[in-house]
Structure 1
Amino acid sequence: MPTEPLDPELVVEDEAGRSWTRRLGPGLVTGAADDDPSGIATYSQAGAQFGFGLLWTMLLTFPLMVAIQSISARMGRVTGRGLATNLRRHYPSQILYAAVMVLLIANTINIAADLAAMGAAAKLVLGGPVPVYVVLLGTFSLLLQVFVPYERYARILKWLTLVLLAYVAIVFVIPVDWKAVGLSIVKPHIQFSGHYLTTVVAVLGTTISPYLFFWQASQEVEEIRSEPGQEALLRAPQQAESQLSRITFDTWIGMAMSNGVAFFIILAAATTLHAHHIQITTSADAASALKPIAGSFAFLLFSLGIIGTGLLALPVLAGSAAYAAAGTMKWRNSLALQVSLAKQFYAVIAIAILGGVILTFVNFDPIDALYWSAVVNGLAAVPIMVLVMLMSARRDIMGEFIVTGLLRWVGWIATAVMALAALGMFWPT
């Protein structure tokens, strides 16, 4: 005998009564995925080159990330559609095609850089050839996305965020001058050299990336589909209070984790590598350099963290590309669907992952890949953020849930900061 559908009002009450851990989801995973191996390399370089001099950037990016990710999540929950679908419905197709193409290219390059870093970290810990680890890790990530049911897969990603605590633990196994840390935050020594500003731009481009906007919005849509009784807020405004509250809580926690871990990575590199005048170029270099300075335990934590964060970031990078492409081309898209029902969607995921694997074998320089993915992401972020902010204020899209007040102001400030960062990429070094 078929069961009666759940009353949305009852679902709302259940949502409000959830434990705080169950209220975490898309925002937590999005924030954690931002600290991928490429990001770890950028933060490690920042600490190795400038010591505590760039810790202030994490205080700057935190509210900016919260704002733009909250707005992206709200758009997904309010409309029941991802960013790409909303863009296709309300703006010229040429704008959308250009944005999605740039996103696909940047994500594939980023996947390649992450896989190269993961393979190098696996070699440090286990020995053996890097290419084998690249193929195995890429294949494992792809199989998880294709064959593990969405609800179970989402829980795996959620718990995998705990791997980031490795970077917090490192700081507590090495001596840190906390007074100097505090002074560097309260009175940052900002330099106006080309090299310093280029590193600031790299940190901003690594922290606020377009693929995160697409991913979190689409995950809110997935949550609607996977939970009985849930609807887009335009169709079920009675669910707005609990859902918008959950999004705010989830996003604040997720971005706090993202920026907090980045802060500790910069701090660890500053305390060890900068103090010993050691310069690095990759996250694996940072792990190797840590061993003689901070000991085997810190080395092991850092290396395993690279692999763990890579496994978290790969599905977000590939998945965001697939959501964007599917929304653009009107394909069925959901990680909850069987492959046979969403062939094009899963094909994009496979192409992104396999493309990343192939790039590591074709005269691939992970440093160049890291640089160019940061450049492309930084350039792509600005027009996408402008469009997101414009859509969030349109009543024909958001209805009564248009973004107003402080959240709107901070969202535009984030957009302006990223525009300045994009211009800064051309600062002469």
Structure 2
Amino acid sequence: MIKSWFKNIGPGPLVAAAFIGPGTVTLCTLAGVNFGYALLWAMVLSIVATIVMQEMSARLGIVSQKGLSEIIRTEIKSPLLKSMSIVLILLAIVIGNAAYEAGNISGGVLGLEAVLGQHSLVLGSFSLNYFSVAIGLVAFTLLYIGNYKVLEKALVSLVILMSIAFMVTAIMTKPNIVEIFKGVMMPKFPRDSILTIIGLIGTTVVPYNLFLHASLVKEKWKDKSDLKYARKDTIVAVVLGGIVSMCIIISAAAVQTSEINNAADLARGLEPLFGSFSKYFLAIGLFAAGITSAITAPLAAAFVATGCLGWSTKMTSKRFKAVWIFILAVGVLSSSSGVKSIEIIKFAQVANGVLLPVIAGFLIWIMNKQSVLGSFKNTMRQNVISLIILIITIFLGVKSILKVFELL
């Protein structure tokens, strides 16, 4: 039974790997430090929303055997609307992922530096971080092979490593189980917590994951009868990803100080309380979170760009490789030289804030098309749930844009 489950494990862990990046780790750390267990319910809401959206994306990929960006290009008939949609998607996903890639690699570097110290080559005013280059080379090798099975095994292993690391860290803090259940079951809105709640949901329901999932399931499964495996894979992976995020919040809640701004600070903060092992486990988790996101972000950008532009979406094609090499190179250079592309990241946040409700709306529309999905189209219950999630994504989008422009 276990062997059969592992055989049918698929893109789900890759989706979990994509949404548990250094940004999510940092946000969960701050949620735990500032609000204790009070915001755990927001992660439960995020998990439910992510399962619903990713299940639709996976169903679309298996039934149509096309990626989401390919379907957008073929199903939107108005030339103006099609052009606007493609430009928005390319800007948000390709440019956005290039901006976020530096953060993904930097997160992995922080994990390594928490254990191994800092190692850089200084050439005049230019500094090159060895760990950034090493992480970039690992990501490059796995992506360049262009074999989905190899990539899947590597990322599943890293996700398992990350999960164990963060869970062990949470257990070592000896949390109050009753208070955890209260945090999960009873929604609370502590003072100044609304932006953190929005952030927790926004970093879990990720626009580029909808594209990534639809493209990856058709690499794994070719038959509609495989939908049951895809659903199980999605639910298990997203729930596990949500539990990992909760473990980070629980770990951070144990630290009695507000002088913590990221997971590396949390690793140092836990050491005097729970011994050096807690630091090592957290550092391993942060490294795994960084490197998995550093692989999935360029991969998603390549699927999106090739699908939108009508190019081959095969992982071994030259244009596909050119897109992810560009994203990875930008990330490695920005991360290793310490360049802070704040304006680009702000732009990416705005673009993603606009894109999430647009893509969620388009996905719901396409999931009701008999011509695309036949008998596998959405049921009434699925539509009601997904429309509620759409309203939440619109709210999140507006809030994230207002936050970027400092109007909130």
Q: Which runs of 5+ in 2 are unaligned?
A: 77-81, 121-128
Q: How many Å separate the matches in 1 of 2:310 and 2:26?
A: 36
Which residue number corresponds to residue 51 of structure 2? 66
Distance 1:66-1:304 versus aligned 2 partners, 3 A rule: same
Q: How high is the TM-score relative to the length of structure 2?
A: 0.89
Range moving further from structure 2, 178-187 or 110-119: 178-187
Q: How many Å separate the matches in 1 of 2:267 and 2:105?
A: 16
Q: How many Å separate the matches in 1 of 2:392 and 2:324?
A: 31
Structure 1 segment 214-363 matched on structure 2, within 5 A: 214-224=211-221, 230=222, 239-240=223-224, 242-272=225-255, 276-335=256-315, 337=316, 342-360=317-335
Cα distance, 1:367 vs structure 2:
8.2
Q: How many Å separate the matches in 2 of 1:326 and 1:119?
A: 30
Contact map agreement 1:214 1:320 (CA 8 A) in 2: yes
Which residue number corresponds to residue 9 of structure 1? none
String of CA shifts for 1:331-376, please: whole Å, max 9, x gaps: 11222x3xxxx11110110011111122225663488887765554
Cα distance, 1:278 vs structure 2:
2.6
Which residue number corresponds to residue 188 of structure 1? 187
Structure 1 segment 122-271 matched on structure 2, within 5 A: 122-129=112-119, 131-147=129-145, 149-163=147-161, 164-191=163-190, 193=191, 195-224=192-221, 230=222, 239-240=223-224, 242-271=225-254
Cα distance, 1:110 vs structure 2:
1.6
Structure 1 segment 91-102 matched on structure 2, within 5 A: 91=76, 92-102=82-92
Cα distance, 1:32 vs structure 2:
3.2
String of CA shifts for 1:290-333, please: whole Å, max 9, x gaps: 22223211110110111112222222111010000000111112
Q: How many Å separate the matches in 2 of 1:369 and 1:208?
A: 21
Cα distance, 1:173 vs structure 2:
1.3
Q: Which amino acid aligns with 2:297?
A: L
Which residue number corresponds to residue 389 of structure 2? 414
Q: How many Å separate the matches in 2 of 1:69 and 1:404?
A: 16
Distance 1:17-1:121 versus aligned 2 partners, 3 A rule: closer
Q: CA RMSD in A?
A: 2.2
Contact map agreement 1:171 1:268 (CA 8 A) in 2: yes
Report the secondary structure of 2:4's partner residue.
coil
Cα distance, 1:149 vs structure 2:
2.8
Q: Which amino acid aligns with 1:358?
A: L
Q: How many Å separate the matches in 1 of 2:42 and 2:94?
A: 27
* Paired-residue identity, %: 23
Contact map agreement 1:204 1:418 (CA 8 A) in 2: no
Q: How many Å separate the matches in 2 of 1:410 and 1:89?
A: 26
2:395 is equivalent to residue 381 of structure 1: no
Contact map agreement 1:38 1:370 (CA 8 A) in 2: no
Contact map agreement 1:222 1:334 (CA 8 A) in 2: no
Q: Which amino acid aligns with 2:170?
A: V
Q: How many Å separate the matches in 1 of 2:301 and 2:8?
A: 26
Query: Residue 42 of structure 1: which of 17, 24, 27 is its match?
Result: 27
Cα distance, 1:252 vs structure 2:
0.6
Report the secondary structure of 1:53's partner residue.
coil
Q: How many Å separate the matches in 1 of 2:326 and 2:290?
A: 17
Which residue number corresponds to residue 79 of structure 2? none
Aligned residue pair count: 390
Range moving further from structure 2, 243-252 or 155-164: 155-164
Query: Residue 13 of structure 2: which of 6, 11, 28 is its match?
Result: 28
2:40 is equivalent to residue 88 of structure 1: no
Contact map agreement 1:107 1:317 (CA 8 A) in 2: yes
Q: How many Å separate the matches in 2 of 1:61 and 1:395?
A: 29
Which residue number corresponds to residue 4 of structure 1? none
Cα distance, 1:44 vs structure 2:
0.7
Q: How high is the TM-score relative to the length of structure 1?
A: 0.85
Distance 1:270-1:246 versus aligned 2 partners, 3 A rule: same
Distance 1:263-1:170 versus aligned 2 partners, 3 A rule: same
Report the secondary structure of 1:114's partner residue.
helix
String of CA shifts for 1:29-81, please: whole Å, max 9, x gaps: 21233111221111111111111121110111111111100000111111111
2:394 is equivalent to residue 395 of structure 1: no
Q: How many Å separate the matches in 2 of 1:286 and 1:264?
A: 13
Contact map agreement 1:117 1:282 (CA 8 A) in 2: no
Query: Residue 118 of structure 1: which of 91, 108, 113 is its match?
Result: 108
Q: How many Å separate the matches in 1 of 2:265 and 2:96?
A: 23
Distance 1:201-1:76 versus aligned 2 partners, 3 A rule: same
